[in-house]
Amino acid sequence: MKSDTLSTTPEIGSGRHMGEKRNDYSRSRALQPCAHELIPGGAHTYAKADDQFPIEAPGFIVRGKGCHVWDLDGNEFIEYGMGLRAVTLGHAFAPVVEAAYGQMQLGTNFSRPAKLEVDLAEAFLDVIDGAEMVKFAKNGSDVTTAAVKLSRAFTGRDMVAICGDQPFFSTDDWFIGSTEMKAGIPRAISQLTVKFSYNDIQNLIDLFDQYAGKIACVVMEPEATTPPAPGYLMQVKELCEARGAVLIFDEMITGFRWHLGGAQKFHGVVPHLSTFGKALGNGFAISALAGKREIMRLGGMDHDQPRVFLLSTTHGAETHALGAALAIIDIYRVRRVVEVLWQQGERLRSLVNRSIAENRLEGYVEVIGRPCNLVFATRDENREPSQAFRTLFMQEMIRRGVIAPSFVVSFSHTEADIDRTADVIHDALVIYRKALDEGVEKVLIGRPVKPVNRERN
């Protein structure tokens, strides 16, 4: 099935007004069967697939500028989440695009390293306290898996302890084997990964006791939606050091959001290894593994230990992505990016909480997380987590011109965008209240969204 007859890109300004209650998705609807025929799941990223969004949602985005996007049918939306929280500055952010384009004109991949690899390594290590070496790759999964491999080599152990309260660390077997979606993963590999609970240091102590001398590393986000209890992160680090394990902070989301130096800088706890991505590239494919020299050097040539095949990727040091990241670090230094993320997120939280109260929805809808990384919780009439009500909430926001799988803001979200979004959310919450009173089935169009990690479709 060919899709080239549906490839027309609408120009900025050609979109329908965002206040309309019913959008035309005819071109998207025509293309979706083709996408599912050619691509397993219809998308190359599970979180972007059709089952993650309401039936009444744009099927394909064709362009973005700042925090606004336009779909295949010309509908315009304010977007939140922004490329799974990767586009932190904004879509097509001019200084980043120009930096990448400048490098592309010089060539993107050579037979020897580019000087830019050293330039970015110096700039990156300058903002990440305690990190002494860094290696770049393309995806978060590349570097989290490399961190696990490095930890196993450094400790001579096989097992991995992951925070079970946090949703995702890697596409690779060591992690996916611990989820519901583990078809194709050898059981022997799945059994090497064990889980602990966040903010429960005794739980992690018990895990180390149960698998004494076997745990190579502890993998966790320093913070997700729940803040760490006072002293908790330092207790985890001290426990790892006492038991001979490596502490790995996954900073894919927290890095360049909580602080330019990551959540580790924000909380004052330096891990042995840490991984970054997403905001580091503002949509360009780049990730980083950084950490202590004594561990990282095992992936190099200045030791007499068994060599670790750490990260050696054909496209890991493409110059346009490195150039983009170097520009991004400079932008963060001079333009108060993190401060703006916190300010705009707090503005949005305050306005949404006001609407929650006005619609008597306390306990049913909740805005949670740090202002720079807000998400929402949706609950049914029994105050139980509800995918149906999540779908309804997203449906009603989309109908009014806001795509919001989360409330994660970008540097490009202006006060006008936030205020417009708050108006949309207020109207959506009116429908939410109606659904609680009269039944969600009366206002929800089609099926609810589903969790990505599930055993069967």
Spatial distance between the Cα atoms of 195 and 331, rounded to a whole number of angstroms:
38
- Topology of the domain covering 4-79+336-442: Aspartate Aminotransferase, domain 1 (3.90.1150)
Q: Is 391 in a helix, a strand, or coil?
A: helix
Look at the block and give the residue holding tokens 């700042």. Answer: 66
4-79+336-442 with 94-334: one CATH topology? no
Mean pLDDT of 79-97: 97
Spatial distance between the Cα atoms of 36 and 60, rounded to a whole number of angstroms:
13
21 pLDDT tier (thresholds 50, 70, 90): low
> Residue 229: how many CA atoms within 13 Å on its side-chain side?
8
> Residue 303: how many CA atoms within 13 Å on its side-chain side?
13
Spatial distance between the Cα atoms of 274 and 286, rounded to a whole number of angstroms:
15
Q: Are 184 and 456 in contact (CB under 8 A)?
A: no
Q: Are 191 and 225 in contact (CB under 8 A)?
A: no
pLDDT tens digits along 373-382: 999 999 999 9
* DSSP-derived secondary structure letter, 11: P
Most confident of 8-17, 98-107, 173-182: 98-107
The residue among 145 and 14 whose pLDDT is bigger is: 145
Domain boundaries, the chain: 4-79+336-442, 94-334
- Architecture of 94-334 per CATH? 3-Layer(aba) Sandwich (3.40)
- Beta-strand runs (E) in 251-299: 273-276, 287-291
Mean pLDDT of 287-313: 90
Spatial distance between the Cα atoms of 179 and 164, rounded to a whole number of angstroms:
10
Q: Is 48 in a helix, a strand, or coil?
A: helix
pLDDT tens digits along 429-450: 999 999 999 999 999 999 988 8
What are the phi and psi torsion angles at 78 (to 5°)? -85, 130
Mean pLDDT of 365-385: 97
- The pTM of this model reads 0.93
Identify the sign of the CA torsion 22, 23, 27, 30.
Answer: negative
Res 15: pLDDT: 42
Res 17: pLDDT: 43
Lowest mean pLDDT among 4-13, 374-383, 398-407, 428-437: 4-13
Mean pLDDT of 258-264: 97
Return the number of other C-beta atoms located less than 10 Å from residue 373's C-beta: 23
Res 6: pLDDT: 40
Close Cβ partners of 183 (under 8 Å, ≥ 6 residues apart): 455
Q: By percentage, how much of the chain surpasses pLDDT 70?
A: 95
End-to-end CA distance of the chain: 24
Q: Residue 44 above 60 pLDDT?
A: yes
Partnered with residue 42 across adjacent β-strands are none
Long-range pairs of 188-191 with CB within 8 A, sequence gap ≥ 24: none
5 pLDDT tier (thresholds 50, 70, 90): very low
Spatial distance between the Cα atoms of 277 and 95, rounded to a whole number of angstroms:
19
